[in-house]
Structure 1
């Protein structure tokens, strides 16, 4: 009589419904059989216990986790560190929740089934590198800018209803001069209760505005420093500043290779064309989904290029003649910028070295003003280029070509 052959357990897939204090994990086999669901604490020991349990029920294929960028971030990092494949899953559609009901256990099993089906699998962000530092810095920057804007609006609102003597004193002033004057204001003898309270409020709002302006500038400086460390070549792309570059890097994450195609990045940013045809009309519309902050960053880049890039301006002019609306042209431009940004993020390029421009010009005994006149730009623009403060690709190539011609007159004659 032959010995019994041990039965190998079926591979399993886990799903996790995440919350702030607890996670509910469920495991199913590859045939869809429910094997169990258990609740765990959101602590390091809880993560270890969860991992031990889901790996004890059979060979683990993958884990579907809800909210890998929020409540599930800690668990995702823990599992990925141990080499477990994690897939981000979305919440079940509202229609399905109404049909099947809702509980942590039901949601955990739904996450497991989504991970098993591999419907639109999403690799979560790593969240454990320099881009994570960029993300938290961006939070401080955005909140400071928002509060600074609110403080400015409140100053204007209070001034509208302020006593006439006070309004007359600050009439015609705006922006930073107004804030400085209000911050330095002092109480005056003989003022009534309303005037005294109004002046105090304006002073407090002005000083708050100054503080928030300093906070936002410090955060922006940190963003520029971090972007320079992560991907300095991105800052040299036309129309890309520290804030827009930071947002695009945050959207891609510490593992941008997870976005395998530029079309996928465009969809992530909400700039992929969505068919909107009907009857005899064939057209596309703007995508309203995706990362809206990344979409905003692409919009800022497009607007910058429309103001000073002759190629982008020429493209818009040509498409308007063809009968396209500005909304349609805007979508096309953002799609093109998304393609360019994806390449720069996934395949970073070293920044162009501009430190030799000034010495080369001086060696030819040409003043900066003379060079600026020849290039038909302002002296300040050329100065910023030579010092590496800004980078304009067209100006850089024209400038280097001109300097090369002057350095090698025999070759160009």
Structure 2
């Protein structure tokens, strides 16, 4: 740890930089012209955050503090700094070429964060922290369930012939339900294999129930936080949560929809040189957000009439499916940005089911009138799927019936 003597320049303008870790954070202070003033290490506790802020402010008037990892290891310090009225800016990971040139250490990274703090953007706030936690828990439940299902399949491949013949042909929930009710018996090998299958099947059922509960909680949180985003066509609880986590609770820090598209990795990247003028697909950005936009595109390609018409026109124009999906993701990113940054009014549908029931009309009769499946009317009434045109037509039809 090094430090500098504080003299009569205490009222000079300074910038802070923080290299955050799980148990410690290294803080550096620079002057407004980039000169190194001091650095020190503190613990990631409330007392450590207070001491770090006092250390920075002791060297002058703090313009901003650059923090690497404001949404991870630096989240606690970021909250503490903001509560004291300091401006905190997000600092990107140091450039690899620069790191190879000057090396790496906590003081070096802290001073780099302080220098970067003079130009980087605002970090995400904490309003989506609950959604992030539920989303991560739900995804981990899915991964664990998938691993258990794969283990069941692998065990059945190498199981004794009698076990493989009896349970190998079963699929899906039928196999899980039957295996969960097993009573291991037979010789030592058979009993051990059956016990393993029963344990894994029960694990799958428990993880399935856990995932469903987490998804319901996530759906409720997302709907309250941004009803317009959740109501957009093809946007489910998981997809909406991922986009909210990517954008943060303060998406206004992204000034344009083009910056959001670049963040999601769907903005074409210039790849021109000399007489060649072209663009290529972006391989950067948040790949989880990119995957979320991809899932929305697939849903709309399969069930949204306007999207299907657009796809048909693009195919007629000679575009490939890959090119069409790229165009769709770019357009969807533009729509999602509007949902994230503006208040989108969601038409009410709570009156549809009571109105239908008061007229003694069945779901089947209503579906036949509009040429759709009864499930479409049911999901519309329950708010699971948004279709404003159908909702308006359905309401007018019910009122006239």
TM-score bin (small chain): over 0.9
Deviation at 1:348, TM superposition (A): 2.8
Native 8 Å contact 2:367 2:374 kept in 1? yes
CA–CA distance in structure 2, aligned partners of residues 284 and 14 of structure 1: 38
Question: Higher mean Cα deviation, 356-365 or 49-58?
Answer: 356-365
**Given the alignment of the two structures, is residue 355 of structure 1 paired with residue 350 of structure 2, yes or no?**
yes
Contact map agreement 1:183 1:207 (CA 8 A) in 2: yes
Matched, 1:178 2:180: no
* Distance in 2, Cα, partners of 1:22 & 1:386: 52
Indicate if the aligned counterparts of 1:285 and 1:328 stay in contact, CA closer than 8 A.
Answer: no
Structure 1 residue 215: Cα displacement? 1.2
Using the alignment, how far apart are the partners of 2:198 and 2:359 within structure 1? 55
Alignment equivalent of 1:252, drawn from 240, 247, 250? 247
Contact 1:9/1:58, CA 8 A, preserved across alignment: yes
The residue number in structure 2 matching 1:313 is 308
Task: Indicate which of 263, 268, 286 corresponds to 1:291.
Answer: 286
The 8 Å contact of residues 65 and 86 in structure 1, kept in 2 or not, is answered as yes
* Matches for 1:209-220 after TM superposition, within 5 Å: 209-220=204-215
Q: Secondary structure of the equivalent of 1:60?
A: strand
Aligned-residue offset at 1:362: 4.9
CA contact (8 A) 2:11 2:60 kept: yes
Go from structure 1 to structure 2 and tell me whether the alpha carbon gap of 1:16 and 1:370 turns closer, same or farther (over 3 Å shift): same
Superposed CA RMSD in Å reads 2.0
Give the equivalent residue in structure 2 for 1:158: 155
Using the alignment, how far apart are the partners of 1:393 and 1:372 within structure 2?
Answer: 16
Deviation of 1:395 after TM superposition, in Å, equals 2.3
Do the aligned partners of 2:243 and 2:292 also contact (CA within 8 Å) in 1? yes
TM-score (structure 1 length as normaliser): 0.90
Q: Check conservation: 2:15, 2:63, Cα contact below 8 A.
A: yes
2:92 to 90, 105, 108: 90
Number of aligned residue pairs: give it: 394
TM-score by length of 2: 0.93
Paired with 1:384 and 1:145, the residues of 2 have a C-alpha distance of: 24
Given candidates 139, 142, 148, the residue that maps to 1:142 is: 139
Q: Distance in 2 between matches of 1:7 and 1:63?
A: 19
Q: What is the match of residue 51 of structure 1?
A: 53
Q: Which residue of 1 aligns with 2:332?
A: 337
> 1:233·1:352 contact (CA, 8 Å) conserved in 2?
no
Q: How far 1:403 moved relative to its partner?
A: 4.2
Gaps of 5+ in 2: 1-7
Matches within 5 A, 1:12-411: 12-116=14-118, 118=119, 121-127=120-126, 129=127, 131-188=128-185, 191-277=186-272, 282-362=277-357, 366-403=361-398, 406=400
